[in-house]
Amino acid sequence: MFTLKDVFFAFILIALLILAGRFMKQKFRWIQRLYLPESIVAGAIALILGPQVLGAIATSLGGDDIWLSGGLFTEPIRTVWAQSPGIFINIVFAALFLGETIPSPRSIWRKAAPQVVFGQTLAWGQYVLGALVTMLVLIPLFGANPISAALIEIGFEGGHGTAGGMADTLVELGFPEGADLALGLATVGIVSGIVAGTALADWGRRRNFVESGAHDVEDLDGIPEMTHTETPEVRARRAELMRGLLIDPLSINFGIVGIAIIVGWLILQGLIWIESVTWGTTGFEIMAYVPLFPMALVGGILVQMALVRLGLAPLVIQPLMKNIAGLALDVVVVTAIASISLLVIGSNLGVFVILSVVGISWNVLFFLYYAPRIFPDHWFEKGIGDMGQSMGVTATGILLLRMVDPHNDSGAFESFAYKQLFFEPIVGGGLFTAAAPALIVRFGLGGLLLITGGLLVFWLAMGFLLMKQQQRQRQQAAPREQILR
């Protein structure tokens, strides 16, 4: 049990931990070289100062009665932290597309088809390989839970936020250690993504695969917005809408996030009701195990479209929306890492290491093999962003993209941004990510392998058709160039 005072001090401590993370990042060069966000450093500090490290050391020296046997943080504060990731992840996903320009699906496909195919193929391959390695290695050797097959995609493609947000679902499905393993994989993914991406960027420049100028990225500040543009007309309309309102713009934007979450909750409840009166009567349940955050993302898209239609879109101030999502994500990451059970990871070390190696190998090797084939130009710049995202979070992909193309000479940033609209609602924390553990419980690993294998084949076929189309276009363009010469 905890009180409102415990909640207050729990979040005060998160703020102090983030400041400590910033200090540590400035103090130690190796942390800067890994480009680790302050929230990850803060979470690691909280984990070290908690009962599993500092508390364990104190207990070994002075017994259970010593003052630091539980670490620096009280049990109510740790309880608040343990429940925070599943709550605050809803804010992150609800705000994802609020304030963004949402083009039509046809327009997105024309501009970013290779990027969509590449990203989707990467994601479904993580499921297929996860299912195969779980079926053939992890279960026979370690007696692993079949849901382990989904952990590569949850941890690598989804990142810390998704892994933390899925904790309650995994507990309900009888796999409580899955959340700790997913968070561990997310940490491995983001570190290996940055390390491998940096090494690949250097290799690509030496092999002349990188056609854009090199750039030394100091941090994640200054990342351009995905699709948002703001004109003087938008600012004038905002001033008109807010005239006479005695309310802070931040409060309005936070209220819009709240509306998006409510819309997502209503959608989820509607789907749960439909399931209960249709296929759910047979005992087959999926929606009951789907967390709120992917529906909050859908709610955010619907609210953004409604605001545009009603002429109220200027009320959404994109930098403020980014700050709201950023603050919520910091809370998710710090509290999720602080709540990791090191004992669980240690007792499942074989499963953890094998999933890590399989995930890293697939992402890197697929990038090197497939990116030169699917992208008609600037394959390195366009591919490395997706590889980074598939091993960490979207910001990791953007970071690697900025390393090899700081001025967006290749146009890779636009296609990477547009791809998210075809990507985030489904995988990387989307609907399928949320439903995958329940699908494994209901249909088994064979069922998951059949579904994801079919989708992988579909996207590979789409890529093959796209490559044939690009080849025809090049062949048709060649005679025209000869005539012009």
Q: Where are the domains of the chain?
A: 1-73
pLDDT at residue 483 in the model: 59
**Distance separating alpha carbons of residues 156 and 428, to the nearest angstrom:** 8
pTM over 0.85: no
All residues at 6 or more sequence positions from 345 whose CB lies less than 8 Å from its CB, including other chains: 180, 181, 184, 352
Q: Is residue 244's pLDDT more than 50?
A: yes
Composition of the chain by helix, strand, coil, percent to 5: 75, 0, 25
Helix axes 394-404, 177-206, angle to 10 degrees: 10
Note the pLDDT tens digit of each residue in 182-214. 988 988 888 888 888 888 988 988 888 887 655
SS (H, E, C) 385-412: HHHHHCCCCHHHHHHHHHHHCCCCCCCH
Average pLDDT over residues 259-275: 93
Note the pLDDT tens digit of each residue in 14-38. 999 999 999 998 998 888 777 777 8
pLDDT at residue 453 in the model: 96
SS (H, E, C) 225-248: CCCCCCCHHHHHHHHHHHCCCCCC
pLDDT at residue 108 in the model: 76
Per the CB < 8 A criterion, the answer to whether 39 and 21 are in contact is yes
Note the pLDDT tens digit of each residue in 427-474. 888 889 988 999 999 899 999 999 999 999 999 999 999 999 888 877
Q: Which of 104-113, 122-131, 221-230, 413-422 has the lowest mean pLDDT?
A: 221-230
